[in-house]
Amino acid sequence: MLYLKKYFTEGLIQFTILLSLIGVRVDVDTYLNSQLPPLREIILGPSSAYTQTQFHNLRNTLDGYGIHPKSVDLDHFFAIRRLLNQVRSLDHLRVPSTELNAWLVHRDPETVVSAASQSSPSIALDNGGSLEDVNSPEPSAMRGAGSTSESTYSLSGEDSLGAVAPEANQEQGNRDSVDELSKEDIDLIDILWRQDIDLGAGREVFNYSSRQKDDGDKPNEVNEEASVREEDWRNGVNLQEGQGVTLVDGETGESIPEELSRLGTQTSMSLQECLRLLEATFPFGEESEFQATDAAPQLRGPAENAPSTSQGLSLPAPLTQSDAPLDLEQQWQDIMAIMELQEMDVNNTAENTNLNNLNNTQANTNESGTMTSFGVSQSSLINQDVSLHQASLPSCSQDLPSLFNSDLDPSVGQRPTLLRLSSSNSSNINSTFGVTNLTGLYLPPLNSTNNLTSSPVLPDPFVSLLEESMLDEISLLDLAMEEGFSQAQASQLEDELDSDSGLSLDSGQSPASPSNSETSCSSAASSSSTSATFSEEGAVGYSTDSEVATAEAEEGAVGGYQPEYSKLCRMSYQDPSHFHNLPQLDSINHNHTYNLPLASSYPEQPQLLGSCSKKCRDKHLQQTKIHPPREFIDKQSSRDERRARAMKIPFSNDKIVNLPVEEFNELLSKHHLSEAQLSLIRDIRRRGKNKMAAQNCRKRKLDTIIKLEQGVQDLRRDKARLLKEKMECLRSIRQMKQKVQILYQEVFSQLRDEEGRPYPASEYCLQYSADGSVLITPRSMTLEQSRKPDKKPKDKKK
């Protein structure tokens, strides 16, 4: 539980975030696997499945190797070959393009990474291997070439150690469950675990433990080592070896131990064989080739490949790259490189692997071909994995301080090229990560003590990455804004960009729908044989459909009563679905008789229908559409109509309601009506008009609500747009600051004191005066100036 808890708390969150960003399929089970043996099997299945796919390629690659010198036995050779293929296949299977991302992820939660590597067949192993490789500064007797690389990676080794230890712990836990560990092993595990807790603090101890095992293995010949390892694994020490061994082997940067551990975890069957294979293959320089060719390309992507292979092979490559002109920025680049080494060992290794691959291509044509292709893919992968890098950054940021503290190894500076590349990547990652999350953070470092190292200056790649990250956010906003900007998206954006509670627009569509429905209402009404045309207000000027016309003709062509029409409108307005319901629509259409003296025209129907429930009427209506008007008479309509009829009003309610005052008065004047009749007519007119007014009023209310909702949406869009603009501005500002920083470094590097010596960046810095002049000032002065606006211009002005 402790392991799980630790992993979850420390790295799982970040890891999950990264995974989500990357879209990589990383199962939490992988982590659990280390802890929970049963879960391994789950992984094993898929891995095995993958292996099948990979075999062909792997065999080809294996063929390229030919018989390894160590493999004396032909049978042994075949067995090794087979196992190797399996191992490779596993690697391939694991990490597609996304694997690179996974590798980075492991870097960040170092402990997690290692654990994941072991447990998860896919990614973690390689990482752990790389890390371990880095970690183990010990002389890798196994690998001559690896030794050189080791020194370079030693810096990162700490991190890796931290990462490795967890793996060991997890694996131990797993294997403990399977196998029993000796007290020594347990003690060692505990030590490692403690170290893991410190995340690399206990590196030495860990290395020592690993070394012991490794040393024990190393003295022995490959076969012996293999046997020893096998024994360890059998004993349950495998985990330790997986850890420690990987460390030892890791010196070469080879993830072999991890792979072996994987095999052990995945399939207990082939451990011995795997060990033999590994020993046979790896002990020599070929190991690097092996990884580079096999593992690197598909599985690990650039990053993963790099670690293992890079160590052995990478060294030359960096040197070659070192030739590249680094004049201006070397100082800070060196620093950056150091930082990057810790952080971006993966990247370096990847690049190294690429370089190594290039170098090796001549030696191994077959593999070289694959490698070159992979190298391209790797680069692409790196670019694609920007998000992942970002995710991994946090750990890097943590590492930075230590880097500064540890200060710089001259060796680091010696490898500017690699460092640069890697550093650029790493810095990008770091910077991007930090910047994305903390926009303002970047600048302070530039001005702050970091200026000494000039690490703050970010290479262009960083800018690009930053921009990409920025663009991603912006793109989201754009999408939201430009493309419908669904409320869900909008809400997400707001949640992401700004935790602004605000109104939930979820209801927004529903309000919008009414408006749509309203329009649709008109269209529907027109389409539905009702040629009614009503003003917004509602019911003015509707023309009845044919049926209505007939009804009116029958009834004496009373003016259509608008309320019904408005009713239709309202129905549709509120709920467009009503239109779809033909019966209702029909009823509405037929309802024009509402104001008419239906009693006269259909004296009988209303009564019959009135006795029936509305459902009954609906049924009746459906059955007998021939006489719709009868059925639509409701109480209220019938009430006034009946009253009018009872009062023997000579004209329809429709006319009473809708006629202009003048005409209405004329109409009344033409007929000799009693006071009761006149009163009733006025009441009918009043009620009818009030009805329409009420409908219009309600409609206006709805319209107002809709408009308000739309206004909210518009405001949200504006907000998103403004945020986008803000992001763009911030981006541009960052770019400008970067440029300024670069310029600063350039200028500062060219400054010389009276004796022609360059100013140490640690002691001096450039100050920008208000008049635009630039002064070089001791940092102590700057600190004082920050407190007091005193400036002592020193020497040069530029």
Partner DNA sequence: ACACGATGTCATGGC
Partner DNA sequence: ATGCCATGACATCGT
Question: Looking at beta carbons only, is 472 or 683 nearer to DNA?
Answer: 683
Q: DSSP 3-state helix, strand, coil percentages of the chain (rounded to 5)? A: 75, 0, 20
Query: Taking contact as CB under 7 A, which single stretch among the options 37-45, 460-468, 698-706, 746-754 is the one that binds DNA?
Result: 698-706
Query: Taking contact as CB under 7 A, which single stretch among the options 101-109, 631-639, 671-679, 774-782 is the one that binds DNA?
Result: 631-639
Q: Which two three-digit tokens encode residue 1?
A: 């539980």
Contact positions with DNA (CB under 7 A) in 662-681? 664
State in angstroms the smallest separation of the CB of 509 from DNA: 16
Distance in angstroms (rounded) separating the CA atoms of residues 90 and 54: 8
Contact residue for DNA among 5, 625, 670, 701 (CB under 7 A): 701
State in angstroms the smallest separation of the CB of 167 from DNA: 59
Distance, CA of 318 to chain centre? 33
Contact residue for DNA among 697, 708, 715, 783 (CB under 7 A): 697
Q: Is residue 645 involved in binding DNA (CB under 7 A)?
A: no
Question: Looking at beta carbons only, is 193 or 565 nearer to DNA?
Answer: 565
Contact residue for DNA among 698, 721, 779, 794 (CB under 7 A): 698
**Taking CB under 7 A as the rule, which mask of x and - marks residues 518-557 in contact with DNA?**
-------------------x--------------------
Q: Is residue 575 involved in binding DNA (CB under 7 A)?
A: yes
**Angle at the Cα of 653 (from 650 to 658), degrees rounded to 5?**
120
Backbone angles phi, psi at 752, to 5 degrees: -135, 145
Question: Looking at beta carbons only, is 373 or 613 nearer to DNA?
Answer: 613
Distance in angstroms (rounded) separating the CA atoms of residues 537 and 628: 27
Contact residue for DNA among 472, 634, 753, 784 (CB under 7 A): 634
Contact residue for DNA among 74, 362, 501, 660 (CB under 7 A): 660
Question: Looking at beta carbons only, is 272 or 566 nearer to DNA?
Answer: 566
The residue count for binding DNA (CB under 7 A) is: 38
Is the separation of the CB atoms in 259 and 241 below 8 Å? no
State in angstroms the smallest separation of the CB of 115 from DNA: 53
Distance in angstroms (rounded) separating the CA atoms of residues 744 and 751: 11
Q: Is residue 719 involved in binding DNA (CB under 7 A)?
A: no
**Taking CB under 7 A as the rule, which mask of x and - marks residues 307-346 in contact with DNA?**
----------------------------------------
Question: Looking at beta carbons only, is 253 or 688 nearer to DNA?
Answer: 688
Query: Taking contact as CB under 7 A, which single stretch among the options 59-67, 257-265, 695-703, 752-760 is the one that binds DNA?
Result: 695-703
Question: Looking at beta carbons only, is 393 or 609 nearer to DNA?
Answer: 609
Distance in angstroms (rounded) separating the CA atoms of residues 90 and 122: 7
Distance in angstroms (rounded) separating the CA atoms of residues 552 and 365: 95
Minimal CA–CA distance to 217: which of 230, 206, 204, 207?
230
Q: What is the dihedral of CA 743, 746, 750, 753, to 10 degrees?
A: 70
Q: What is the DSSP letter of 767?
A: E
Question: Looking at beta carbons only, is 173 or 511 nearer to DNA?
Answer: 511
Question: Looking at beta carbons only, is 59 or 689 nearer to DNA?
Answer: 689
Q: Is residue 686 involved in binding DNA (CB under 7 A)?
A: yes
**Taking CB under 7 A as the rule, which mask of x and - marks residues 255-294 in contact with DNA?**
----------------------------------------
Query: Taking contact as CB under 7 A, which single stretch among the options 303-311, 562-570, 755-763, 768-776 is the one that binds DNA?
Result: 562-570
Q: Is residue 56 involved in binding DNA (CB under 7 A)?
A: no
State in angstroms the smallest separation of the CB of 543 from DNA: 19
Question: Looking at beta carbons only, is 319 or 694 nearer to DNA?
Answer: 694
Is the separation of the CB atoms in 659 and 647 below 8 Å? no
Q: Is residue 694 involved in binding DNA (CB under 7 A)?
A: yes
Partners of 776 in the beta sheet? 766
Contact residue for DNA among 636, 674, 762, 773 (CB under 7 A): 636
State in angstroms the smallest separation of the CB of 658 from DNA: 10
Q: Which residues lie below 8 Å from residue 103, measured CB to CB, with a gap of 6+?
A: 95, 113, 123, 126, 127, 130, 300, 301, 303, 304, 307, 346
**Start-end of H helices in 23-95:** 28-35, 37-65, 74-94
Is the separation of the CB atoms in 548 and 528 below 8 Å? no
State in angstroms the smallest separation of the CB of 682 from DNA: 8
Question: Looking at beta carbons only, is 468 or 618 nearer to DNA?
Answer: 618
Partners of 767 in the beta sheet? 775
**Start-end of H helices in 385-505:** 386-406, 410-414, 416-437, 443-447, 450-453, 460-482, 487-497
Contact residue for DNA among 154, 696, 749, 782 (CB under 7 A): 696
Q: Is residue 658 involved in binding DNA (CB under 7 A)?
A: no
Q: What is the dihedral of CA 174, 23, 735, 785, to 10 degrees?
A: -30
**Angle at the Cα of 46 (from 45 to 47), degrees rounded to 5?**
90
Q: Which residues lie below 8 Å from residue 570, measured CB to CB, with a gap of 6+?
A: 538, 695, 698, 699
Query: Taking contact as CB under 7 A, which single stretch among the options 45-53, 67-75, 219-227, 692-700 is the one that binds DNA?
Result: 692-700
DSSP string, 519-585: HHHHHHHHHTT------TTS-SS----HHHHHHHHHHT-PPPPHHHHHHHHHHHHH-THHHH-HHHH
**Angle at the Cα of 35 (from 33 to 38), degrees rounded to 5?**
50
Q: Is residue 571 involved in binding DNA (CB under 7 A)?
A: yes
Distance in angstroms (rounded) separating the CA atoms of residues 149 and 348: 11
Contact residue for DNA among 615, 672, 787, 788 (CB under 7 A): 615
Distance in angstroms (rounded) separating the CA atoms of residues 526 and 534: 10
Minimal CA–CA distance to 240: which of 224, 253, 223, 228?
228
Distance in angstroms (rounded) separating the CA atoms of residues 291 and 370: 12
Query: Taking contact as CB under 7 A, which single stretch among the options 222-230, 369-377, 629-637, 709-717 is the one that binds DNA?
Result: 629-637
Contact residue for DNA among 169, 566, 601, 749 (CB under 7 A): 566
Query: Taking contact as CB under 7 A, which single stretch among the options 329-337, 611-619, 723-731, 764-772 is the one that binds DNA?
Result: 611-619
Query: Taking contact as CB under 7 A, which single stretch among the options 133-141, 197-205, 253-261, 686-694 is the one that binds DNA?
Result: 686-694
Question: Looking at beta carbons only, is 25 or 670 nearer to DNA?
Answer: 670
Return the CA Rg of the chain.
40
Q: Which residues lie below 8 Å from residue 70, measured CB to CB, with a gap of 6+?
A: 222, 223, 279, 280, 281, 283, 284
Contact residue for DNA among 106, 420, 687, 734 (CB under 7 A): 687
Contact positions with DNA (CB under 7 A) in 360-379? none
Contact residue for DNA among 54, 293, 695, 738 (CB under 7 A): 695
Partners of 765 in the beta sheet? 777
State in angstroms the smallest separation of the CB of 593 from DNA: 13
Q: Is residue 201 involved in binding DNA (CB under 7 A)?
A: no
Contact residue for DNA among 648, 700, 792, 797 (CB under 7 A): 700
Query: Taking contact as CB under 7 A, which single stretch among the options 99-107, 148-156, 255-263, 685-693 is the one that binds DNA?
Result: 685-693
Chain residues that interact with DNA, rule: CB under 7 A: 537, 563-564, 566-567, 570-571, 574-575, 613-615, 618, 634-637, 639-640, 660-661, 664, 683, 685-691, 693-698, 700-701
